[in-house]
């Protein structure tokens, strides 16, 4: 890309001060202005790269809309995030009523460039690198509206823009098709394992006993919520596990938030010894992980309940497999309630039914599952790797497109990446 090929985004608009605007100042659009229906308001969580999601929408009445109409969007506009991580995620407005944006978004209406071409450009590594080089803030990165208005855009002639869009459309369609197939294969593998777990825990033989969770834990396990608010990071403080940390089977100290131990003095009942099951009871209810021994002395947030099994009644591995099985997960989902924040009442959680055979039989079942589970993990790693490769291929093609290096047809490169 040469310097002469670049045009500031504002110069691609008829009137950049009216065409590139962010949302209204906070006092002008507050929670109290929101309605359950009316004119939609787009927020950060609604904007993903190339896509607007309509989850957890808020609305305003026509009076508020008219008052803030300068901050409105309409079909064909581009909406971009200017706060958060990653910065600069952009999507074209389609299949949604005209509405407003909040202060952390930018609405772009550029008349002198192909809209789809511009959306591809804004989501490219080229633009992302520039935006992130201009960001301000550490805990909540952001960029000023002036940075967005001055974004350098590679602007070949309109015919070339449309040619690039056609190439990218085809390449992305091929990649998305491969991604969908890979995700389906991964889903099928997980469902096969879940089906096996269902069979193990539903086709019970002689000697199995049904009982509630609260009857299977140690005397010092209260089956309680953890710390309500973890507070700020404190160097050398006490580790605390949050629901967002529960993305793997085994949880260790890596990446955990450290807090002032004084904040947890009233929560000794959820202090970890290491080895407990950690069950998410708010948000993504039912997600289950295991606390490594290194977490002895750590604690959990309100969204997690530690489960410490009585070894004379149930083994940890058997308990873990039963918790991730449809037998228990179905109970958790049926007891989950709420709209904005899904959760399960602690009383209902304590009454979850588990089926328990003899300890000898538990060991036999857990050993068998220990043999099968790694195969699933291996398949998951393979498919996750393929999905990551496809995502990287997208970035690579976008990088070339907006560095002026896109060949006339990247089909071979795309097919090679898809096959990988």
CATH class of 209-356: alpha beta
Reported as a pLDDT band with limits 50, 70 and 90, residue 408 is low
Q: Which CATH superfamily is domain 3-155 in?
A: DNA methylase specificity domains (3.90.220.20)
Q: Kindly list the domain boundaries of the chain, sorted by start residue.
A: 3-155, 157-187+361-420, 209-356
Number of Cβ within a 10 Å radius of residue 140: 11
| 152 close to 6: Cβ distance less than 8 angstroms | yes
Reported as a pLDDT band with limits 50, 70 and 90, residue 4 is very low
Among all chains, which residue has been given the structure tokens 């037998």?
Answer: 327
Residue 368 pLDDT? 93
- Residue 406, SS3 per DSSP: coil
- Answer yes or no: same fold for 3-155 and 209-356: yes
- Residue 267, SS3 per DSSP: helix
| 103 close to 29: Cβ distance less than 8 angstroms | yes
Query: Taken in order 352, 355, 358, 362, is the CA torsion positive or negative?
Result: negative
Look at the pTM and tell me if it is higher than 0.75: no
Residue 138 pLDDT? 64
Q: What is the rounded CA–CA span in Å between residue 193 and residue 210? A: 23
| 298 close to 238: Cβ distance less than 8 angstroms | yes
Residue 250 above 90 pLDDT? yes
Peptide bond preceding 153: is omega within 30 degrees of 0, i.e. cis? no
Reported as a pLDDT band with limits 50, 70 and 90, residue 411 is very low
Work out the average pLDDT over 53-82. Answer: 94
* Backbone dihedral region for residue 50 (phi beyond 0: left; psi -120 to 50: alpha; all else: beta): left
Which tokens in the block code for residue 100?
């407003």
Give kind and range of the element (H or E) at residue 63.
Answer: helix 62-67
Q: What is the DSSP letter of 251?
A: E
Q: Write out the DSSP string of 47-64.
A: EETTEE--SS-EEE-HHH
Q: What is the rounded CA–CA span in Å between residue 245 and residue 267? A: 19
């Amino acid at each position: 890309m040469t310097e002469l090929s670049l045009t500031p985004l504002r110069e691609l608009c008829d009137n950049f001060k009216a065409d590139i605007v962010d949302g209204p100042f906070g006092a002008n659009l507050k929670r109290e202005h929101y309605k359950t229906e009316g004119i939609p308001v787009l927020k950060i969580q609604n904007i993903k790269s190339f896509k607007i999601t309509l989850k957890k929408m808020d609305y305003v009445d026509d009076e508020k809309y008219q008052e803030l109409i300068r901050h409105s969007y309409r079909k064909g506009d581009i909406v971009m995030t200017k706060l958060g991580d990653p910065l600069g995620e952009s999507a074209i407005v389609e299949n949604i009523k005209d509405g407003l944006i909040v202060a952390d978004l930018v609405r772009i209406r550029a008349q002198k460039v192909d809209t789809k071409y511009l959306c591809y450009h804004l989501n490219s590594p080229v633009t992302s690198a520039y935006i992130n080089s201009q960001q301000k803030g550490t805990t909540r990165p952001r960029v000023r509206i002036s940075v967005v208005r001055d974004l350098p855009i590679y602007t070949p002639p309109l015919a070339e823009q449309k040619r690039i869009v056609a190439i990218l459309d085809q390449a992305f369609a091929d990649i998305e098709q491969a991604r969908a197939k890979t995700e389906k294969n991964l889903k099928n593998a997980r469902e096969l394992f879940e089906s096996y777990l269902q069979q193990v825990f539903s086709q019970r033989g002689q000697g199995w006993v049904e009982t509630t969770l609260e009857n299977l834990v140690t005397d010092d396990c209260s089956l309680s919520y953890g710390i309500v608010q973890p507070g700020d990071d404190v160097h050398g403080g006490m580790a605390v596990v949050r629901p967002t940390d529960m993305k793997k089977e085994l949880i260790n100290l890596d990446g955990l938030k450290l807090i002032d131990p004084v904040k947890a003095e009233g929560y000794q009942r959820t202090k970890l010894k290491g080895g407990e099951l950690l069950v998410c009871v708010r948000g993504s209810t039912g997600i289950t992980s295991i606390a490594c021994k290194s977490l002895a002395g750590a604690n959990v947030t309100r969204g997690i309940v530690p489960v410490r099994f009585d070894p004379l009644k149930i083994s940890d591995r058997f308990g873990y497999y039963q918790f991730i099985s449809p037998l228990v997960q179905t109970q958790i989902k049926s007891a989950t309630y709420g709209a904005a924040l899904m959760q399960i009442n602690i009383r209902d959680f304590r009454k979850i039914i588990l089926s328990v055979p003899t300890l000898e039989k538990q060991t036999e079942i857990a050993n068998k599952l220990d043999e099968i589970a790694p195969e699933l993990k291996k398949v998951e790693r393979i498919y996750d790797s393929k999905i990551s490769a496809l995502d990287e291929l997208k970035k690579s093609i976008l990088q070339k497109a907006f560095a002026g290096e896109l060949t006339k047809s990247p089909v071979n490169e795309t097919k090679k990446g898809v096959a990988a």
